[in-house]
Amino acid sequence: MKKMTYAEGIREAMRTKMKEDPNVILFGEDVGKFGGCFGVSGDLWEQFCDDRVRDTPISEGAIVGAAVGSAACGIKPIAELMFIDFLTVGMDQLVNQAAKMKYMFGGEISIPMVLRVPAGGGIGGAAQHSQSLEAWATHVPGLKVVYPSNAQDAYGLLLTSIDDPDPVVFIENKVLYAMQNDVDENEMKAIPLGKARVVKEGSDVTIITYGRQVYDSLQAAEIVAKDGINVEVIDLRSLFPLDKETIVKSIEKTHKAVLVSEECKRGAYTGDIAAMIAEELFYELDGPLMRVGALNTPIPFSTELENYVMPNVRDIELAVRSLF
């Protein structure tokens, strides 16, 4: 075992693939000499130079469009946006081009692009730099959506995403970038999309989550364990394709579920998962499906107000307790 940060896991996956395949390139705002807005690309520019690691203007529409066009021509672009908030500027290119070209051309072309987007609050980024918009991406047929919670998963899932023939929106939680995790050097390999991970086994209630909320969910599980509530925690890792099998197996065991994400609760991806559970597992449930998310308001700049708006350990704990 060794220690690796979440950011390092992402960087080393890009380095691995860029060494293996000269068609893998990286571009985005400040990803070159500066090493990325959050330092994720680090020294990749020094190793691969301008031919493979290139800074772009502050034009998210152009960045996503360049990724789509180069992918259609056989390149494997990794495009980075500074914040998922500004995915809004590139939505036409992503939704109407990247996601649909394979279908519009009868499967004759592939769009093997990865769009890396930092997401979430917790850094005082305020209303325009703190959003969690994964549900926008999961709604679009033709896109795959990945959201790792730790360094090893970030490495393995990004390896797979880069080699995937379809466009992948690879969401990275900003708070996790500096977090160190233990990684097994013998297991630093590709992880299939659509395979969730049971982080903690339990028998009384299932928490389904991903990203930063995995850690809050584990803390909540520790708290309620003192009162004899045994929580199972599932880290989805891949939002689409979704690992329904792991969810079904867990709920057939626990018969209760709490769905947790950092998104505003209204319109959150957890609502889709809740609908799937209600449709397919209704008679397995011993209580209502509970959801935890941010309040339906823009994320404030003030630390105190941001903490109030964002979901937290106490929110998850109370949702779990409400089922008993």
Say how far apart CA 317 and CA 199 lie, in whole Å: 17
Banded pLDDT at 185 (limits 50, 70, 90)? confident
| Number of other CB atoms surrounding residue 288 within 10 Å | 12
What is the band of 302 on the pLDDT scale with cuts at 50, 70, 90?
very high
Q: Give 22's contacts (C-beta < 8 A, 6+ positions apart).
A: 52
- Confirm whether 129 is a catalytic residue: yes
Query: Residues 6-51: pLDDT tens digits?
Result: 999 999 999 999 999 999 999 999 999 999 999 999 999 999 998 9
- For the cut 90, the answer to whether the pLDDT of residue 263 exceeds it is yes
| DSSP reduced 3-state for 28 | strand
What is the chain's mean pLDDT, rounded?
Answer: 97
Single out the catalytic residue among 129, 144, 212, 255: 129
Q: Given a cut of 90, is residue 297 above it in pLDDT?
A: yes
Per-residue model confidence as pLDDT tens digits over 271-292: 999 999 999 999 999 999 999 9
Residue 89 reports pLDDT greater than 90: yes
- Give me the mean pLDDT over the 140-147 stretch: 98
Q: Where are the strands (E) in 174-213, listed by range?
A: 180-183, 197-200, 205-209
Distance separating alpha carbons of residues 2 and 95, to the nearest angstrom? 39
- 8 Å CB contact between 262 and 132: yes
- Gap between the Cα atoms of 261 and 245, Å rounded: 20
For the cut 90, the answer to whether the pLDDT of residue 67 exceeds it is yes
Q: Determine the pLDDT at residue 262.
A: 97
pLDDT confidence tier of residue 246, bands split at 50, 70 and 90 = very high
- Structure confidence at residue 90 (pLDDT): 96
pLDDT at 1: 84
**CA distances for 97 relative to 30, 100, 279, 310, angstroms:** 25, 5, 32, 33
Domains annotated for the chain, with CATH where assigned, are 2-187 (3.40.50.970), 197-321 (3.40.50.920)
Q: pTM for this structure?
A: 0.96
pLDDT at 181: 92
Confidence band of 187 (pLDDT split at 50, 70, 90): confident
Rounded to the nearest 10 degrees, what angle do helices 313-321 and 213-225 cross at?
50
Q: What is the mean pLDDT of residues 179-188?
A: 90
